[in-house]
Amino acid sequence: MEVKEKLKKYSDAEHCPVRNVISHFSSKWSILLLHILAEESPMRFGEISRVLEDISPKVLTSTLKNLESVGLVCRKVYAEVPPRVEYSLTPSGRTLIPALAPLVQWSIDNFASIVGNRGQSGKRS
Amino acid sequence: MEVKEKLKKYSDAEHCPVRNVISHFSSKWSILLLHILAEESPMRFGEISRVLEDISPKVLTSTLKNLESVGLVCRKVYAEVPPRVEYSLTPSGRTLIPALAPLVQWSIDNFASIVGNRGQSGKRS
DNA sequence: CAGCATCCCGTAAGATACTG
DNA sequence: CAGTATCTTACGGGATGCTG
């Protein structure tokens, strides 16, 4: 198939798998969150909050909900007092991690050159 | 290193390679654009516009600039009348494509289940 | 042709306070 | 503890019109 045809087709977000999928975990914390859960599951809400110390509960909630809605994360509620909720990766979520690995590696390898002299030298806001 | 330490470190966007890198091409058209240029380089501004027919010049410009600023795309201006500008992937940009491939594949494989019955059946706006 | 300038909108994301 | 509610800001993205 012609490149142009293919891309014309994928210009429509609804028909582009990559965009459709990426859009779901390209939010600020999604990938980080996935990797946290990949290495340590299950985790409780508060635990995650403590690790991602800069995330607000609201954002964490929405990020988790988003990931849950696309079946990457599993949310398990325990009817206890005090309440306990545990998050973990779904099988589907687990398969995403290795698919992401090369990209992560690339990012690490190219981080320096991408950021240029930022982050490399003493630059810290 | 402890997972938590690692993630605490990466919570700061500036120290997280993945987020830092991904943030640059997680915009709506970036990946599509990269793949277009991966298959057909160089391309002129107008050519790209025609392929990505839904993109506005402004957004295309900013997307290209963004990709250029991180060294993924190369912009070549020809001092002619009428002006001609050609865009192509940099070597760095080319290495990104294969790193993205597994993710793309994963997206394709999991597209259906992610979107659920949307896009599968007749759903079209 | 290849943009830039400008205005507008929707949504991600942050801060803060409150609750089952 | 695990969120929700509300407000506010920042930015991506789109539309339109203009220019070197």
Nucleotide with minimal C1' distance from the CA of B83 is: C1
pLDDT (average), residues B53-76: 93
Mean pLDDT to the nearest integer, A83-110: 92
pLDDT at A42 over 60: yes
* pTM, rounded to two decimals: 0.84
- Cβ neighbours of B111 in A, within 8 Å: 17, 20-21
The yes-or-no verdict on residue B46 having pLDDT over 70 is yes
Q: Helices H, strands E: what count in chain A?
A: 6, 3
CATH among 1.10.10.10, 3.40.190.10, 3.30.565.10, 1.10.3720.10 for B22-105: 1.10.10.10
- Residue in chain B closest to A124 (alpha carbons) equals B14
User: Other C-beta atoms within 10 Å of B84: how many?
Assistant: 13
AA letter at A7: L
Residues composing chain A = 125
Check residue A8 and give its pLDDT: 60
pLDDT digit string (tens) for B1-40? 565 566 656 666 667 777 777 777 778 889 889 988 998 8
Percentage of the residues of chain B whose pLDDT score is greater than 70: 78
Q: Which residues of A fall within a CB distance of 8 Å from B4? A: 40, 50-51
Cβ contact, residue pair A99, B95, below 8 Å: no
Q: What angle do CA B117, A17, B88 make, to 5 degrees?
A: 165
> What is the distance between the alpha carbons of residues B102 and B87, in angstroms, rounded to a whole number?
25
Question: At residue A102, does pLDDT exceed 50?
Answer: yes
pLDDT of res. B123: 34
- Is pLDDT of A124 > 60? no
DSSP B14: G
D8 C1' – B33 CA distance, angstroms? 33
Chain B CB within 8 Å of residue A46 CB: no
Higher-confidence residue of B75 and B107: namely B75
pLDDT of residue A13: 62
Instruction: Check B95 against A106: CB less than 8 A apart.
Output: yes
**B76, B85 contact by CB (below 8 A):** yes
Enclosing H/E stretch for B112: helix B91-115
For residues A124 and B68, what is the distance between their CA atoms, to the nearest angstrom? Answer: 23
Q: What is the pLDDT of residues A73-94, one digit of tens each?
A: 999 999 998 999 999 999 999 9
Judged by CB atoms closer than 8 Å, whether chains meet at A106 and B96 is answered as yes
CA of A93 to C1' of D2 (A): 23
